[in-house]
Amino acid sequence: MDMTTDLTTHTSPNAASRVEIPGFRGELIEPGDAGYDAARAVYNGAIDRYPRLVARCVDAADVMAAVRAARAADLTIAVRGGGHNAGGLGVWDDALVVDLTPMRSVHVDPAERLVRVDGGAVWGDVDHATHPFGLAVPSGFISSTGVGGLTLGGGIGYLSRQFGLTIDSLLAVDVVLSDGTLVTADADRRPDLFWAVRGGGGNFGVVTSFTFGAHPVRTVAAGPMFFDAARGAEVLRAWDELLDSASESLNGWFGFLSVPAVDDFPADLRGRTVAAIMWCHNGPLAEARQLLAPLRDLDPLLDGVGEVPWPALQSIFDPLFPAGLQWYWRTDFVDELTDEAIAVHLEHGTELPSPQSTMHLYPVSGAAGRVPAGATAYAHRQAKYAQVIVGVDPDPAKLASVASWARDYHDALHPHSVGGGYVNMMMDDEGLDRVRASYRDNFARLVEVKRRYDPDNTFHINQNIPPDAIS
């Protein structure tokens, strides 16, 4: 692509007015620089934004300098962790991007089971560092997602039922505030800020370091079970019922998906739309087999549950969802799988518009659901499931059709949800009412904390909690 044409046809990046960041050690990338297109690209290939400057920070001092420089130049700040956000909130037109991607180191203290993670690490970095010690931090379902964004929004994953959301294992954060100073927040120091970052997203500052408590996880019993999609109602009910009573060491998300066309699956299943459950039991395979008996009795097309080292489970989906695909997301929280909701799932979930488009239901039960709703900013503890519908395709020309499928499916299901959505899976244009509904009774307290720590709304490229949202 011709860079000159690109710049003149898009918004207003202005290479002439260079932004200086005194004392900055990392790389600074501006329009016209060789690495500019790579630096502005995020995981969702449908996002095409042109920042004024990408400041690749190597340490907290760089982050402090970048925030100060952006404020002095009156520039919008976007903060980039792993770059996975649904709405591409890690990059913004005309903004100074505080890019944390060089800050990926992880330090493990196995004796204390403490893990300290730099703000730009991805979960694969954490799994790599903790696995030799037989430890893991609860994360998500894919290893390329950023620790920063996933944690700040809550963090739903395979270990949620046993050890809670990612934020329930978070012990401390170092945060660069809007005035460029760095503070530590934990249960004793700035507890208001510590409460708010556990679910409130990047609204309060740039987190340069996360300290987590880790848990014993080494090899798990995990893998997919596939059923004929037409049996989706029966499978959904059996899965829901099993998780209501099963040990919390067992987790599994439900999805309608196309069986990937890869050698790992039998040839007759490849490309077929199925009702799938991706299981993970943090325990022996024999125990998993017993726990899964009610679903095994339903005679799945494939039972692929086996022993898997934790990092391998976390990265199973990485090659199926490489960076750069076109994504369109819709999310809700769900309390109950009613007959009406299941009928909608059957109607839309069995009609996937592309091989990578899918619907997932992620359990937020067990340990994750027991935490009181007001204990952290993440408010929907009562919701049994976070539901996400994603239209995905490599071809930009197909984005409109996969998005329209996701929108129609979501519109039909939304009346059966509890309002609000998982902020990490919301797009960039969903509006304040959705954000308010996502934080429910915690919203007013979040606004108070926002006023205290970011009264000018310096950090607003996120699911924003405006300081003036409540008069």
Ligand X SMILES: Cc1cc2nc3c(=O)[nH]c(=O)nc-3n(C[C@H](O)[C@H](O)[C@H](O)COP(=O)(O)OP(=O)(O)OC[C@H]3O[C@@H](n4cnc5c(N)ncnc54)[C@H](O)[C@@H]3O)c2cc1C
Three-class secondary structure of residue 222 per DSSP: strand
Helix (H, G, I), strand (E, B) or coil at 423: helix
Q: Which stretch binds ligand X (CB under 6 A): 25-33, 182-190, 201-209, 292-300?
A: 201-209
Q: Does 119 bind ligand X (CB under 6 A)?
A: yes
**One residue of 60, 121, 185, 207 binding ligand X per CB under 6 A:** 207
The least distance separating ligand X from the CB of residue 188, rounded to whole angstroms, comes to 21
- Rounded alpha-carbon distances, angstroms, from residue 213 to 26, 113, 136, 138, 155: 30, 6, 9, 9, 14
The stretch near ligand X (CB under 6 A) out of 19-27, 137-145, 257-265, 399-407 is 137-145
The Cα–Cα gap between 165 and 321 comes to 23
- Closer residue to ligand X (CB): 140 or 363: 140
Stretch that binds ligand X, among 46-54, 83-91, 290-298, 349-357 (CB under 6 A): 83-91
The residues, any chain, with a CB within 8 Å of residue 376's CB and separated by 6 or more, are: 167, 168, 195, 198, 199
Range in contact with ligand X (rule: CB under 6 A) among 6-14, 135-143, 221-229, 348-356 = 135-143
Binding mask 406-435 for ligand X (x = CB under 6 A): ------------------xx----------
Instruction: Report the residue number whose CB is nearest to ligand X.
Output: 149
- For ligand X, the binding residues in 153-182 under the rule CB under 6 A are 153, 155-157
Given the DSSP bridges, would you call strands 306-309 and 273-281 parallel, antiparallel or unpaired? unpaired
Whether 153 contacts 376, CB under 8 Å: no
The tokens describing 214, both together, are 């880790």
Only one residue has tokens 């990059």, namely 91
Binding of ligand X by 453 (CB under 6 A) = no
* 251 contacts ligand X (rule: CB under 6 A): no
Strands 96-99 and 53-56: parallel
Q: Is 86 in the site for ligand X (CB under 6 A)?
A: yes
- Position 89 contacts ligand X (CB under 6 A): yes
Whole-Å CA distances, 64 to 10, 120, 121, 194, 384? 29, 15, 18, 19, 39
Residues near ligand X (CB under 6 A) are 42-43, 79-86, 89-90, 100, 119, 140-142, 145-146, 148-150, 152-153, 155-157, 201-202, 206-207, 321, 424-425, 461-462
